Amino acid sequence: MAVVTNTENGVAVTNDDEVRALLNTVDVEYERWDLSRVAADATADEVLSAYSDEIDAMKRRCGFVTADVIDITPEVPGLETMLAKFDKEHTHSDDEVRFIIGGRGIFFLRGMEGQVLSVEVVPGDLIRVPRGTTHWFTLCTERRIRAIRWFQDPAGWSPNYTWSGVDREFEPLCFGPAYFGTLAQKTISL
């Protein structure tokens, strides 16, 4: 489940209903999807096939024309260059929808009043960041994420950078199992 933190007061929520409510304050949608349909090592084609009904429904709902699976690992050539496209505050001309299959990352979302929410996404989380929403993204310590992505343009998305510098004010802190360790995994049953 996602961890959403209000960066102004440090309050974090993990309950699905509270996550949805807090993300609704910045018009972002959140869902939890079942991961039991595919093995962790499933190919991209197997993943797309297993979720084809949901992928098609999202395409119809949001006007997307294509979907793919991105698999980012520390071994990806040019990883730092790739991440540099995501980790500066930007917007898009279409919605950004991601269903996380593996790994973890953080979306930082800036609301109309300037408040910033950090959203640590984990496997099973689906997030829809509406077009025009100022945000940025970074990976957690493991530097790994695997996700289904949807696009309105078959060529992919283009960032429209704000160059506000706000993104430099926030550290990407992930508070999942890697942070808390095995004791938390046993106690919290992640």
Between CA 44 and CA 64 the distance in angstroms is 18
Between CA 120 and CA 2 the distance in angstroms is 5
**Torsion sign (Cα): 89, 95, 96, 97:** positive
Between CA 190 and CA 187 the distance in angstroms is 8
pLDDT value at residue 181: 47
Share of the chain above pLDDT 70, in %: 91
pLDDT value at residue 173: 67
Q: Specify the residue for token string 């496209």.
A: 85
Q: Specify the residue for token string 């190919």.
A: 43
- pLDDT at position 180 over 50: no
**pTM over 0.85, yes/no:** yes
Q: Specify the residue for token string 């294509």.
A: 66
pLDDT value at residue 175: 56
Query: What residue segments make up the domains of the chain, in order of their start?
Result: 3-189
pLDDT tens digits along 62-84: 999 999 999 999 999 999 998 88
- pLDDT at position 178 over 60: no
pLDDT value at residue 176: 52
pLDDT value at residue 188: 45
Token pair listed for 72: 């980012």
pLDDT tens digits along 87-116: 999 999 999 999 999 999 999 999 888 899
More confident: 183 or 115: 115
Query: For the domain bounded by 3-189, which CATH number is listed?
Result: 2.60.120.10
CA 97 to chain CA mean position, Å: 8
More confident: 158 or 121: 121
Residues in Cβ contact with 164 at an 8 Å cutoff, skipping those fewer than 6 apart: 89, 134
pLDDT tens digits along 22-38: 999 999 999 999 999 99
